[in-house]
């Protein structure tokens, strides 16, 4: 019997664990329709602010040999644009898998206000609060401030009763994994998403002796192959530390079935694809689905649950 990729997540059923990463191929309703009609198990919207944002000046995204560097600055159409889309799509396609809705804010008040809008809406999917954008000039990554993260989540769960996950930046020290996991375990989170891009990297064009993106003097988030070892470490570290009720979405460096298998082996339940999706387009989901099944068949695994989280130590 061939391997099955069916995935249960937040009490919902998905045909496979593959999704786009918020920020990639999800700016417009046309982008979202293409994701909905692809082989992805689900999809997520662009991180929405209260009002439309143009984002940072271009060039702000550059594909490089082993990945990408970007400083997008949260360009999006505003929360009402995406909320209208997801609610209408739910009504028109009631049998489809749930949609993920990404939301962000330039302040705590904006974050909470956006969450309230979703709470008050007819949206029945899964919400992701982005606490980790590294590419807005003058704005630190919220989730690097543990006390502030706890404050936001405390207030968020007073008003928000639908399934809620958070997107995290990469952490690099066991002490930080321990501290953040202790905080997150205090809340009824549906999941954490590990990781956003590795913040404030630098890529140089030797021929012109310049940086390659315009915002922040060339500093930007690093994705793709560069990010995978860090992403896997964060998935594994939080899988071992969080309450079992808090699931993990693995994001970072997934471009093959092997990469997907590694994230699942570390403990991820769903998988988001960013840089490789930007480079290849939505056909990537069908290819990775096929490659993941081939690996599972070769190893004798019939379901993801047979090996998810079972990474061995030496």
Residue 169 belongs to a domain: yes
**Run means of pLDDT, 10 residues per run, the chain, 314 residues:** 94 98 98 98 98 97 97 97 98 97 96 98 98 83 95 98 98 98 98 97 98 97 98 99 98 98 99 98 98 98 98 98
Q: What is the pTM of this model?
A: 0.97
Distance of CA 302 to the CA centre of its chain: 26
Residue 206 belongs to a domain: no
- The pLDDT score that the predictor gives to residue 133 is 83
CATH of the domain at 152: 3.20.20.70
Check: CB of residue 5 under 8 Å from CB of residue 304.
yes
- The pLDDT score that the predictor gives to residue 70 is 97
- The pLDDT score that the predictor gives to residue 137 is 79
- The pLDDT score that the predictor gives to residue 151 is 97
Cα–Cα distance measured from residue 89 to residue 310, given in angstroms and rounded to the nearest whole number: 37
Tell me which of 132, 197, 266, 269 is the catalytic residue: 132
Tell me which of 26, 133, 194, 266 is the catalytic residue: 133
Cα–Cα distance measured from residue 131 to residue 273, given in angstroms and rounded to the nearest whole number: 18
Residue-number span of the structural domain to which 171 is assigned:
7-55+74-197+224-306
In the annotation, is 133 catalytic?
A: yes
- The pLDDT score that the predictor gives to residue 236 is 99
For the chain, helix (H) and strand (E) counts, in that order, are: 9, 15
Residue 66 belongs to a domain: no
Through-space distance between the first and last CA atoms of the chain, rounded to whole angstroms:
32
- The pLDDT score that the predictor gives to residue 40 is 98
Q: Quote the tokens at residue 96.
A: 């489809």
Residue 140 belongs to a domain: yes
Cα–Cα distance measured from residue 100 to residue 89, given in angstroms and rounded to the nearest whole number: 12
Distance of CA 254 to the CA centre of its chain: 12
Per DSSP, helices labelled H in 99-211 are 108-120, 146-159, 174-184
Q: For residue 245, how many other CB atoms are within 10 A of its CB?
A: 10
Residue 219 belongs to a domain: no
Helix (H) or strand (E) holding 197: none
Q: What are phi and psi of 250, to 5 degrees?
A: -95, 125
Residue 217 belongs to a domain: no
Cα–Cα distance measured from residue 29 to residue 82, given in angstroms and rounded to the nearest whole number: 8
Cα–Cα distance measured from residue 213 to residue 70, given in angstroms and rounded to the nearest whole number: 7
Q: Quote the tokens at residue 48.
A: 């929405």
Residue 31 belongs to a domain: yes
Quote the number of domains for the chain: 1
Q: Quote the tokens at residue 174.
A: 């066991």
């Amino acid at each position: 019997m061939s391997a099955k990729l069916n995935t249960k997540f937040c009490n919902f059923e998905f045909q496979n664990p593959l999704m786009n990463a918020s920020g990639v191929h999800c700016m417009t309703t046309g982008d979202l329709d293409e994701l909905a009609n692809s082989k992805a198990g689900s999809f997520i919207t662009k991180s929405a602010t209260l009002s439309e944002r143009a984002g940072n000046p271009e060039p702000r995204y550059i594909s490089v040999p082993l990945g990408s560097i970007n400083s997008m600055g949260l360009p999006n159409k505003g929360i009402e644009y995406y909320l209208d889309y997801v609610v209408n799509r739910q009504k028109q396609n009631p049998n489809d898998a749930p949609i993920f809705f990404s939301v962000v804010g330039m302040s705590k008040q904006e974050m909470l206000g956006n969450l309230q809008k979703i709470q008050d809406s007819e949206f029945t999917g899964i919400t992701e609060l982005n606490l980790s954008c590294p590419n807005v000039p003058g704005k630190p990554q919220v989730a690097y401030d543990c006390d502030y993260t706890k404050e936001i989540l405390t207030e968020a769960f007073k008003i928000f009763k639908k399934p809620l996950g958070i997107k995290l930046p990469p952490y690099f020290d066991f002490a930080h994994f321990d501290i953040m996991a202790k905080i997150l375990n205090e809340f009824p989170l549906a999941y954490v998403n590990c990781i956003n891009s590795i913040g404030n990297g630098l890529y140089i064009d030797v021929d012109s002796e310049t940086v390659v993106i315009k915002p922040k003097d060339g500093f930007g988030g690093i994705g793709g192959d560069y990010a995978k070892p860090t992403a896997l470490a964060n998935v594994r570290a939080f899988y071992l530390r969080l309450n079992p009720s808090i699931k993990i979405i693995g994001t970072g460096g997934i471009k093959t079935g092997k990469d997907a298998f590694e994230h699942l082996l570390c403990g991820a339940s769903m998988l988001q694809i960013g840089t490789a999706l930007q480079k290849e387009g939505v056909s990537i989901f069908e290819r990775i689905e096929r490659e993941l099944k081939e690996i599972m068949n070769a190893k004798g695994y019939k379901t993801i649950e047979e090996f998810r989280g079972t990474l061995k130590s030496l």
